[in-house]
Structure 1
Amino acid sequence: MGTVVSIELADDLPEPRLRELIESTCAWLHEVDARFSTYKEDSEVSRLQRREIRPEECSADLRLVLDRCADLWRETDGYFDAYAKGPLDPSGYVKGWSVEVASARLAAAGSTRHHLNAGGDIRMRGAAPNGGPWRVGIRHPWEADKLAWVLTVRDGAVATSGTYERGAHVWNPRTGGPATGLRSVTVVGPDLAVADAYATAALAMGELGLTWLAKRVADGYESAAVTEDGRAFTSPGLPVAP
């Protein structure tokens, strides 16, 4: 996964059961990493890249991810592109998808109050330990010790894509070069895989992404963005803490 994952369970369950749920979640995320890593030569994605296996021979999970990446490529007018840098790299979808699936698996196993954070891609269900909504701080895109926004979410996902930590890691497929124009994009919505992909696509679009994001509100996805020259934009329903 290339990142740190934190798991917080607020359920009133026996401690051994909570440990079981955490262990099963970690096992799932390690399984995803083994299958989808572009750095491991024996991963399914790497074998597909080398054409050792055909798409129809891939696992159901990989076929699903490839189909969703193709859907998002069409939905974003090509700005979300698993082939943006040449070889297949579905990582921009996989991280959010894997955490969304992990949350669904936890819910099915009896955890109705939890918070999963994979490098800033966050999925929350139910109430926080204090009984209220979960609070999510969005890092200031220039000052690491400050927050740009604090969001309150009870059931939903928060994904942020930016250039302030990993540098130019998102590509603009139109120019073939690093994305410019936006410093940070945060998307809040019901599905983390979609929110993560939308944040990545909007960052790739640059300032055109602001208009594109505004059209996603009708589908339940609110957003916040900061431009490279320091202007901040939020959609009307962004759940900002008072």
Structure 2
Amino acid sequence: MGTVFTSQIVLDETAEKPALLTKIEHFQNLLEVYLEQINTRFSPYLADSEVSRYNRGEITALTMSPDLYFVFASSLAAKLATHDAFDANYNGEFEPSGFVKGWSIEVGFSKFLVPLFQFPSVQAVNLIGGGDMQMETREQSDWVFDIGIVDPTDRYSIIKTVQLKTGAIATSGISERGHHIKGAVDDILQTTVIGQALQEVDVWATALMVNPDLALPDNLSGFIFTRQEGETHAKIS
């Protein structure tokens, strides 16, 4: 997927670190294997991936794996929900990377990081990929994630800070990968969407780049950063 993934595990002062770190490392190794498998299966740049095989007609919606079918169906649902602003088809081929990234982070987080809460010293965990984050904080903990949103015109500056304990946040725009979204509006520099599920907020962050007039579902909130007369402005969506 061409994405760097990082995770953060927050421990309290009572942690028996040598023993606990060994257990944490085990789960992180499982997470790494999982993410590598996702790339192998869903990358459109690998000739033997399931996505490439589908695009060559070697497998169909009736013969594809359950995971690819879920990605296929979810991408279609996202296209319908966003009135075509989110579209996993590119140049006549199925290219679901825009959905797979958020989905794989959310699933990997649930499978391999949330189980760390079985250890009482673990206060919070997150998983980040390409600047998008799924996070959770133990209910009794005071830990809050301070999330800096990068200035789309200066990737070394923070334009806004968001504080979250649990949930998901996705940002789409030009700061990480330049102008890479098909159909994006020129004056829209960056969008950020906040909710509970990363696969959902990532879809809507991409969709707002294409159609900033879309109304977000009630369970989501977001910011759109626009270029106006040489300045960057933000509005709440």
One-letter amino acid of the structure 2 residue matched with residue 97 of structure 1: W
- How far apart are residue 149 of structure 1 and its match? 0.8
Partner residue, 2:4: 4
Aligned to 1:228: 227
Match of 1:27 among 19, 33, 45: 33
Aligned residue for 1:40? 46
Tell me which moved more, 8-17 or 44-53: 8-17
1:90 is aligned to 96
Deviation at 1:101, TM superposition (A): 0.3
Q: In 2, are the aligned partners of 1:168 and 1:179 still within 8 Å (CA)? A: no
SS at match of 1:228: strand
Q: Could you tell me how far 1:190 is from its partner in structure 2?
A: 0.5
What residue in structure 2 maps to residue 160 of structure 1? 171
TM-score (norm 2): 0.87
Name whichever of 62-71 and 119-128 sits farther off: 119-128
SS of residue paired to 2:191: strand
Counterpart code for 1:121: D
Cα shift readout 1:145-172 (whole Å, capped 9, x = no counterpart): 2111111111100100002332221112
**Bigger strand share:** 2
Distance 2:86 2:135 in 1: 24
Q: Deviations over 1:161-185 (max 9, x none)?
A: 002332221112xxxxx54231000
Question: Following the alignment from structure 2 to structure 1, what is the Cα–Cα distance between the partners of residues 25 and 136?
Answer: 18
Cα distance in 2 between the residues matched to 1:124 and 1:182: 27
2:145 to 134, 152, 176: 134
Give me the TM-score of the superposition, normalised by structure 1.
0.86
1:120 to 131, 140, 143: 131
Structure 1 residues 58 and 85, CA, compared in 2 at 3 Å: closer, same or farther?
A: same
Greater radius of gyration (CA): 2
Structure 1 residue runs without a partner (length 5+): 173-177, 236-242
Q: Is the 8 A contact 1:135 1:152 kept in 2?
A: yes
Do the aligned partners of 2:150 and 2:175 also contact (CA within 8 Å) in 1? no
Unaligned runs of 5+ in 2: none
Aligned amino acid, residue 6 of structure 2: S
Aligned to 1:71: 77
* Counterpart amino acid of residue 140 in structure 1: D
Q: Is 2:167–2:194's contact at 8 Å kept on the other side of the alignment?
A: yes
Task: Give the aligned residue type for 1:166.
Answer: R
Q: Structure 2: how far apart are the matches of 1:69 and 1:150?
A: 30
Alignment partners' CA distance in 2, 1:228 and 1:86: 31
Deviations 1:17-36 (A, max 9, x none): 10011011111111110000
Partner of 1:238: none
Once residues 132 and 165 of structure 1 are traced to their aligned partners in structure 2, the CA distance between those partners, rounded to angstroms, is 27
Superposition RMSD on alpha carbons, in Å? 1.9
Identity %: 30
- Please state whether the residue corresponding to 1:110 is helix, strand or coil: helix
Contact 1:85 1:171 in 2 (8 A): no
Shift of 1:107: 5.1
The equivalences for 1:79-228 within 5 A come to: 79-106=85-112, 109-111=115-117, 113-126=124-137, 131-172=142-183, 178-205=184-211, 209=212, 211-213=213-215, 215-216=216-217, 218=218, 220-228=219-227
- Checking the alignment, whether the CA contact within 8 Å between 1:159 and 1:192 is kept in structure 2 is yes
